[in-house]
Structure 1
Amino acid sequence: MKNNFGIILISLFLKLATAEVLYYQPEQVHIAYGANIFEIIVTWSTFNETPNSLVEYGIGGLVLQAEGTSTLFVDGGKGKHSQYIHKVVLKKLTPDSTYQYHCGSDLGWSNLFNFKTAPDSPGWQPHLAIYGDMGNENAQSLVRLQEETQRGLYDAILHVGDFAYDMDSNNAEVGDQFMRQIESIAAYLPYMTCPGNHEEKYNFSNYRARFSMPSGPDSYMYSIDIGPLHVISISTEVYYFVEYGIKPLVFQYEWLEDNLAKANLPENREKQPWIIVMGHRPMYCSNTDMDDCTQHETLTRVGLPFLHFFGLEDLLYNYGVDLAIWAHEHSYERLWPVYNYTVYNGSYEQPYVNPGAPVQFTTGSAGCKEGTDHFIPKLPDWSAFRSSDYGYTRLKAHNSSHLYIEQISDDKSGEVIDSFWIVKDKHGLYPGSKMNWAKVDKMRLKNMNN
């Protein structure tokens, strides 16, 4: 009898030891803008399926509940790492209010987080933190960004490509680590993104699954109006990974032109006078690494080789884009207003006052295991300021005529190492612009019909 009891205990112990451990606890929580700034998408992960995907939220208490969906994501690596990614949309939020929320299911809830909605006012001055190329190793700027987020310094984040280095590594466990690291920022602020070259593996599957942008998981591009800013996010990677087909490049180009045409309608440009485009790879750079942007015929600038179809520089110039933001180079570089390698400063004394071409800067030194990049000795005519310090950028829209930008050096304990104002008496087309007016008329008719 004793022997049988021992066998039963051993058998029970072996079953418990080999049983599957179930993980229902939410993690990797982050938020993003939805269709507009008064709509928030909450995204998180669990490693086992839950019966529902819920967010409890409210002003001063968790009095509201919204339900969403979960999708099984299986990484393309050998280990076939899998998890369930949950998405819930919070709609028609009250302006200028602080919401508390947590997310999860009947089997477990996340920590309690909060976010603040924007005022519904034409005088709102949004303050953004901007950077690219931040990994889970050597994420040097992360601590300072976490602290500034908790102090309420920012309204949103723009992460301009390259996450984790790389999200697919170790069967996507590196991606999990990175998403946990940024939770202390991304669970409190809309974390708006675009893909970079380090997201390419398995046709950008980790990027598309993990981040919830306004356009949904099947599209890399979207736009969002943030106060006086019309921010457009695109994928520069469609120019470089053509093994996934040429169709995404063509579709994005046509979508971008339509978006810019609509943004230039007088009624739209009056509400959002500042048109900003962000994408990962820059058109110009003066680094020493021989990346594409160090070449005269940069693909993002001129388009497809030889044919020069679908180049971005003409498009941004012809539709009066005010500011272009890039990353990829692990450094910071501010350009003079430039088009086709020609500088179009507003004046010698005030180059950014009524500039004659889009202003561009590259901010890709937030911190990663690859370190920072260096520059060629001679400063090109079109380059205004360069730094290889680890750091990130801040942008504040003061009104329809003044935009302030500054670069923060983490190496120098948060010192502002570069700052400038873009000032415009009026927004619109640059001299010699060749806007497709038929596109604009098409957008005008579409607006009227809607």
Structure 2
Amino acid sequence: MVSVVGAVFVALSLAPLLVLSVPPIGTQPEQVHISYAGFPGSMEITWTTFNETEESTVEYGLWGGRLFELTAKGKATLFVDGGSEGRKMYIHRVTLTDLRPASAYVYHCGSEAGWSDVFSFTALNESTSWSPRFAIYGDMGNENPQSLARLQKETQVGMYDVILHVGDFAYDMHEDNGRIGDEFMRQIQSIAAYVPYMTCPGNHEAEYNFSNYRNRFSMPGQTESLWYSWNVGSAHIISLSTEIYFFLDYGVDLIFKQYEWLKKDLEEANKPENRAERPWIITMGHRPMYCSNNDKDDCTQFESYVRLGRNDTKPPAPGLEDLLYLYGVDLELWAHEHTYERLWPVYGYKVFNGSIEQPYVNPKAPVHIITGSAGCRENHDTFVPNPRDWSAFRSTDYGYTRMQVHNTSHLYLEQVSDDQYGKVIDSIWVVKEKHGFSAWF
């Protein structure tokens, strides 16, 4: 009798371990995030399962209306991570269409084999007089993501309409056979399931030819999220890959493909009717053309690949500075350096302020912002003691940038220090009475 009781006791004591050893339900949606699909009335919903499901479905409805009265279906793509385990996951994508501009929606995603939590988003306001609000940062890991909690709260209370993540995710998504990528996507779900999470690739995404980045995110266009453009309010936003200048093993031709695409996109954006409607042209790319850090990165070199191109390719690969200047790009957003740096209006290593008293009022060159201090395991970068005269403000605090495009002539930027409990440590107004190449003269 005693032995029977003992056996029962042992079995019960092991029960929690036995329960914990049961694998998770592989058809359960996770890592939910949304992005703008690039055309009016649209939103792209993306999520992951680890087993295949018969369908990929989003059920949704207007906030305050009948719950889940609308249904949209999409498809799943098998992604096999390049690590030694060859881990499989299914990336589901569903495009919602015919959304009412500026209207709030409630949704969940999945299938009859498992549904996500319930989330909400606001369809993009399609008015060009709308003043969208952005949070902007790069270089956020899932170890030491210091700014994440503040961004989660601010997003959930409705402070932002769009998030711009300017490269370098998770540190790194491919590690531990893609599990680090999974964990990072779970961490940002509390932001990215509620507002469009718009991205560009960074150097930390390079493993297996950027496959984790290209498969996990769903940006507009047909370039696997490497480069694309979209419109919001009075701004035309262009996302670029700076990494094509550094990982030539994946194809030198990508430099020329992006350059030709970018030139055509800028030509279209600069047609008089388009520039009148959306005068602000803003670019985002991971590695900056200029910086005053002391780490010998590309931006610390006068012969920057991103700025001037490469002469060691056949034919020589063009850089980006002249093209962006020629088409009157107003603002260039960068990351990569784990610091914040605001530059005076600069072109060709020379400062072109609007005036001594008001440098950002009618500036005579693009304005550059470097915002790569969201927090990651590589900690801070440092600065050279004496920066060149194009460097206006620098900080090594962890933090992120806020931006609001107020109207066709006024754009506001500020830097938040998470080290200083959310204090705004820098801010500027960029004011432009006219836009385009002629604005430089």
Q: Scaled by the length of structure 2, what TM-score is found?
A: 0.92
Structure 1 stretches (4+) deviating beyond 4 angstroms? 16-22, 430-433
Retained in 2: the 8 A contact 1:134–1:163? yes
Retained in 2: the 8 A contact 1:357–1:430? no
How far did residue 161 of structure 1 move? Answer: 0.2
Retained in 2: the 8 A contact 1:97–1:116? yes
Deviation per CA, 1:35-59: give whole Å up to 9, x if none.
2252100000001000100000010
| % identity of equivalent residues | 61
Deviation per CA, 1:189-208: give whole Å up to 9, x if none.
00000000000000000000
| DSSP 3-state at the match of 1:182 | helix
Deviation per CA, 1:175-224: give whole Å up to 9, x if none.
00000000000000000000000000000000000000012463511101
2:336 pairs with 1:338:
no
Retained in 2: the 8 A contact 1:69–1:88? yes
How far did residue 431 of structure 1 move? Answer: 6.8
Structure 2 residue identity aligned to 1:129: A
| DSSP 3-state at the match of 1:325 | strand
Retained in 2: the 8 A contact 1:302–1:308? no
What is the correspondence of 1:325-404 to structure 2 with a 5 Å cutoff?
325-404=333-412
Match of 1:418 in 2: 426
| Counterparts of 2:371 and 2:365, CA distance in 1 | 20
Structure 2 residue identity aligned to 1:34: A
Deviation per CA, 1:144-197: give whole Å up to 9, x if none.
000000110000000000000000000000000000000000000000000000
Structure 1 residue identity aligned to 2:31: Q
2:306 pairs with 1:300:
yes
2:49 pairs with 1:46:
yes
2:68 pairs with 1:65:
no
Structure 2 residue identity aligned to 1:319: Y
Match of 2:32 in 1: 29
Retained in 2: the 8 A contact 1:318–1:430? no
Q: Which runs of 5+ in 1 are unaligned?
A: 1-15, 434-450
What is the correspondence of 1:136-285 to structure 2 with a 5 Å cutoff?
136-216=142-222, 218-285=224-291
2:112 pairs with 1:106:
yes
C-alpha RMSD of matched pairs (Å): 1.7
Indicate how the Cα distance of structure 1 residues 62 and 331 shifts in structure 2: closer, same or farther if over 3 A, else same: same
Number of residue pairs the alignment of both structures matches? 418
Structure 2 residue identity aligned to 1:382: W
Retained in 2: the 8 A contact 1:37–1:117? no
| Counterparts of 1:118 and 1:246, CA distance in 2 | 36
How far did residue 366 of structure 1 move? Answer: 0.3
Structure 2 residue identity aligned to 1:344: F
| DSSP 3-state at the match of 1:349 | coil
Match of 2:416 in 1: 408
Structure 2 residue identity aligned to 1:231: I
Retained in 2: the 8 A contact 1:299–1:305? no
Indicate how the Cα distance of structure 1 residues 21 and 136 shifts in structure 2: closer, same or farther if over 3 A, else same: closer
Match of 1:5 in 2: none
Deviation per CA, 1:244-290: give whole Å up to 9, x if none.
11111100000000000100001100111000011000000000111
| Counterparts of 1:384 and 1:432, CA distance in 2 | 20
| Counterparts of 1:295 and 1:19, CA distance in 2 | 53
Structure 1 residue identity aligned to 2:176: N
Q: Which runs of 5+ in 2 are unaligned?
A: 1-18
Retained in 2: the 8 A contact 1:354–1:424? yes
Retained in 2: the 8 A contact 1:104–1:110? yes
